[in-house]
Amino acid sequence: MFTNMIIGRYMPGNSWIHRLDARTKLILSVAFIFVVFFANNVAGYVVAIAFTLLSILLTGLGVGVFIRGVRPLMFLMFITTLLQLFFVQTGDVLWHWAFLTITTDGVTNSIAVFVRFMLIIMFSTILTLTTQPLAVADAMESLLQPLKKVGFPVAELALMLSIALRFVPTLMDEAESIMNAQRARGVEFNEGNIISRIKAFVPLLIPLFINAIKRAIELGDAMEARGYRGGDNRTKYRVLIWQKQDTIAVIGFIVFTVLLIATKWL
């Protein structure tokens, strides 16, 4: 289950996307979350899907890797889609039973939410799959440099981000190990109704939280023992350098944005 999730994992490679500056990928990932909402018809979604597929192909990892990684999140996307399907009451009524009603606007909105959710997850995953966690943290710190003038703790925020990204895969692996141990003791996570399944996850969450807190304490002690000091006057082993391919990537994203906005009038 958790071992199939690729969110937060880094896969080494030498593709065109891998070689982009971490700042470029971070900026475009955040921008995509806002830009994708310009899609409001079939043409817009076709453009957004095509751009996302092209970006995935440029990673050299294959579409199948992303589909398998997103599969564990299908339940969350399914719940979100159902909320849109049954709670949007405008439009022509297609089906009605008791307090449940499905309308044309509900169907349209649920499909739109599902597609946007899928595209955002896949495009954001490109960042974590092709960028080392420390590079993402350095990019965040570099982009937030202007906030230092108002006393914002940029270095500390970058440190927290790098630690979070670094230990997401570790926590997933630990969760999988705990689940296997619980299964060996007779716990079934995929049987019974929704309430029973939620209760079955309680023995998983408690040791997972305990291990996470223990790991955080050990990490803090290790950093203190090594004399870690954040903030100014720290040199970096990896220096972020803006290159020609980063400019090409930004121009390509601008072209995609223009095309997506243009589809609103089709």
Give me the residue spans of the domains in the chain: 1-131+243-266, 155-234
Mean pLDDT of the residues in the chain = 80
93: helix, coil or strand? strand
Element (H, E) at 101: strand 100-103
The answer to whether 1 and 179 have CB atoms below 8 angstroms apart is yes
pLDDT digits (tens, 9 = 90+) for 161-203: 777 777 777 777 787 787 777 777 776 766 666 676 677 677 7
The residues, any chain, with a CB within 8 Å of residue 100's CB and separated by 6 or more, are 86
Give pLDDT, residue 250: 94
Angle, helices 22-35/244-262, rounded to nearest 10 degrees: 0
Angle, helices 42-59/244-262, rounded to nearest 10 degrees: 160
pLDDT digits (tens, 9 = 90+) for 90-140: 777 777 777 677 777 778 888 888 888 888 888 888 888 888 877 887 888
Instruction: Name which of 263, 264, 184, 249 is nearest 20 in CA terms.
Output: 249
Element (H, E) at 28: helix 22-35
192: helix, coil or strand? coil
Tell me the average pLDDT across 216-238.
Answer: 76
pTM of this structure:
0.75
Question: Rounded CA gap, 38 and 54, in Å?
Answer: 19
Question: Rounded CA gap, 23 and 137, in Å?
Answer: 10
Question: Rounded CA gap, 36 and 246, in Å?
Answer: 21
